[in-house]
């Protein structure tokens, strides 16, 4: 014989109220573990960003639609070239980095908005100063190399990456990790 029991909402609230100390203990333990992992096991990642402008040099001072269209079409090509070994190898040599172009490529994100001639170069690194140095050096090497590679001289460094006085890591997000720890503790405590 199968007997079906239904537990009322009042009964659940009563059980939770009786076990609130146990639930709070699980929340404290879980959030403490999450905080410990965040502070001591996860390596902080910092981000630096530099911007370059793709723009034809015009001696007459006029900006014609053909050169603007040409610049916009070149941006996709430039985005690929920026993360290629032809640019990253000289960056590694200049900064004397202990890495390969393939690994460095994984640290760099190149993006540009649609119909914009501004290209953003973002670099993630474990050291905030190194992130700034890599971002600026990538932009400089790209500006030096592009006339040789494509026979055009249309790159201007719009804004260089700067190191903040108090750099904040991009990852890990301490508040988010602690919130996840609290939710996990609450779920485990209520579940038990």
75-119 per-position pLDDT tens digit: 888 888 999 999 999 999 999 999 999 999 999 999 988 778 889
H or E segment to which residue 88 belongs: helix 85-95
Question: CA angle at residue 168 from 137 to 78, to 5 degrees?
Answer: 30
156-187 per-position pLDDT tens digit: 888 888 888 888 888 888 889 999 999 998 88
Cis peptide before 172 (omega within 30 of 0): yes
Contact 52, 118 (CB under 8 A): yes
19-70 per-position pLDDT tens digit: 889 889 999 999 999 999 988 998 999 999 999 988 765 544 455 555 667 6
Mean pLDDT, the chain, integer = 85
Q: What is the CA radius of gyration of the chain?
A: 26
């Amino acid at each position: 014989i199968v007997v079906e029991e239904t537990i009322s909402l009042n009964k659940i609230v009563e059980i939770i109220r009786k076990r609130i100390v146990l639930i709070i203990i699980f929340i404290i333990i879980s959030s403490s573990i999450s905080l410990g992992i965040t502070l001591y096991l996860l390596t902080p990642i910092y981000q630096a960003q530099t911007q370059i402008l793709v723009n034809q040099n015009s001696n007459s001072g006029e900006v014609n639609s053909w050169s603007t269209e040409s610049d916009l079409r070149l941006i996709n090509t430039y985005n690929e070239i920026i993360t290629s070994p032809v640019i990253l190898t000289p960056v590694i040599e200049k900064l004397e980095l202990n890495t390969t172009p393939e690994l460095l490529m994984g640290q760099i994100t190149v993006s540009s908005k649609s119909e914009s001639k501004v290209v953003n170069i973002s670099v993630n690194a474990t050291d905030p100063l190194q992130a700034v140095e890599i971002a600026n050096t990538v932009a400089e090497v790209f500006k030096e190399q592009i006339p040789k590679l494509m026979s055009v001289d249309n790159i201007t460094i719009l804004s260089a990456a700067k190191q903040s006085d108090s750099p904040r890591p991009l990852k890990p997000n301490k508040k988010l990790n602690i919130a996840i720890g609290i939710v996990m503790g609450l779920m485990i405590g209520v579940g038990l």
